[in-house]
A and B are shown apart, each in its own frame.
Chain A
């Protein structure tokens, strides 16, 4: 008996520890499930989940080694890698956590005005919203400057010809404060991850007028960022974490498990929110096809073209300067090679390519993958644009050769 105890203790002592930071968001589901179901432990990993109140805490704790990994918005991972907002820390993204799940939620009067204008003028929601915003110089909230929300909202509104700063104000409002800010009129709407749109809707202060997929169908959302030093010292542990998360992603993506996952996430130590508000944003939840995707359509695969799209949009809005080679940065941080290596013996398919054209598919398509192809959903942008990662590379090369010619 005492032998068994000491053996277990010895094994526990030897297990690599991974401290994973996350925010109170629905797309933390795979990490929470992997922890609660013992999937990390099955891979010989001692995971410790740390729920943080802000993206700033996630960034600083990664930068100073208080966290080994985090569920992160990819633009913030690039900001930490580059040291754009504080101390720098090399990070890598070997696993994508989710696609979709964000909502554009407006105050009820603004939502009503937008819908009425869309109907009477026969225009799209975004065109109607742009006209309303221009007329009243309103403020919209996003969750952080280096967030997917900031980039997606700007992209969407720019397709209707309006720009933050010139035609409307954009402010950072932590999602936990967004409902209050909407009530007091400090903001007229916000773009944030699930469940916050549904929390505002259920509190009867907001109405959801669009979701991620209205801006970019199958838009990549959260990713797992890992400190490069931690990963390089423990390649086996990193592989284990990827396998544990893949298993959890499958569970969370199964519509049958939605109610169970919502109950798990609603616990006080995680989201501490009404499970019904969480349920809406889960696969198979009360708002089918509008919420988060965790597994289907290679949602866990860290496409380098996703990283490059975020970087290109960050440059568009002046968040990264011109001197940085975006393609090399996307390649350094996004690591599909580590993903493939970790799951190679599981028989789970992984895409063969690291890059793809984004927005090129109006209808479901099939991605080449081994050992079997993967059924992919449509990935159209709201403006029909097609993002060609090679075009970004050639722009960089052109800049370089222009310099060379001087």
Chain B
């Protein structure tokens, strides 16, 4: 295994990049460089001459990276793990990370590095998804409260009555409660805006 493999990390998420840098440094065989999320990607690659580039697939910069052959002798090859292992490549794509091999690094050297990157990207992705799910739930609750308030005020319902009314509407329409509630609020707001405008027009 080459002791002085130079790896350039290009990642939008600074925390994740730091974590990956630490993890790869611990293994002791690589020199890690971190590129900021910048415009001069081609120049950064020219200057630092990495053997391997690991890049976040959410960045548009992959397209710029693929053209580096146009300005140097380097010939970046998209390499998830090598053509012989599509399952590994699929894991990398699902995790959202890929690598470019710039100096013909041997496959057995790339694989453990990519395995680390995949594991880390996957963990961060899971945290993001959990966060998004939690946010969506909070938002749904907020909307239900708002819809109940509209019903209680406008139709003189009690709170349990208002909730049952919304539930029944969702059931009758065979739709999710969150959808029904959101639409109900939008319609209410559009109606009251129209009413306000109509009110203004009156002499």
Contact = CB atoms under 8 A, between A and B. Distances in A.
Interface string B40-55: 1010000000000000
Nearest to A184: B39
A86 interface: yes
Given A87-B83, A176-B60, A61 B93 contact: yes
B63 A174 contact: yes
Interface in B30-84: 39-40, 42, 57-67, 70-71, 77-80, 83
A86 B94 CA distance: 17
Interface of A: 1, 5, 53-57, 60-61, 64-66, 85-87, 143-145, 165, 169-177, 180-181, 184, 186
Given A53-B59, A61-B93, A176-B60, A171 B42 contact: yes
21 contacts: A1-B174, A53-B58, A56-B66, A56-B78, A60-B78, A64-B80, A64-B90, A65-B90, A87-B89, A144-B67, A145-B66, A171-B67, A171-B71, A172-B63, A172-B64, A173-B64, A174-B61, A174-B63, A175-B60, A184-B39, A186-B39
Contact of B70 (A56, A64, A170, A181): A170
Nearest to B67: A172
Nearest to A24: B60
Nearest to B174: A5
Given A86-B79, A171-B70, 14 more contacts: A55-B63, A66-B94, A87-B83, A144-B63, A144-B67, A145-B66, A172-B42, A172-B64, A172-B70, A174-B63, A175-B60, A177-B60, A180-B39, A181-B39
Contacts of A57: 57, 62
B98 interface: yes
A54 B61 CA distance: 7
B86 interface: yes
Nearest to B68: A172
Contact of B93 (A64, A145, A181): A64
A57 to B, nearest CB: 6
A251 to B, nearest CB: 25
Interface string B74-111: 00011110010010011001100010000000000000
A87 B84 CA distance: 10
Contacts of A143: 63
The 9 A-B pairs of least Cβ separation, nearest first, read A174-B60, A86-B78, A56-B62, A172-B67, A54-B62, A172-B64, A53-B60, A145-B67, A54-B63
A325 to B, nearest CB: 24
A173 B61 CA distance: 8
A327 B183 CA distance: 54
Nearest to B78: A86
A144 B66 CA distance: 8
A400 B64 CA distance: 37
A171 B90 contact: no
A66 B96 CA distance: 12
Contacts of A54: 57, 59-63
Contacts of B71: 169, 171
A145 B70 contact: yes
A177 B39 contact: yes
Given A53-B60, A64-B93, A85 B39 contact: no
A176 B59 CA distance: 10
B75 to A, nearest CB: 10
Contacts of B80: 60, 64
Contact of B78 (A65, A85, A144, A170): A85
A53 B70 CA distance: 22
A64 B1 CA distance: 29
Contacts of A61: 93
A41 B40 CA distance: 44
Nearest to A176: B60
B168 to A, nearest CB: 14
B93 A60 contact: yes
Interface in B104-124: none
Contacts of A85: 66, 78
Contacts of A174: 60-61, 63-64
Contacts of B63: 54-56, 143-144, 172, 174
Nearest to B56: A53
A180 B57 CA distance: 20
Most buried by B among A1, A145, A181: A145
Most buried by B among A53, A65, A186: A53
Most buried by A among B64, B70, B94, B174: B64
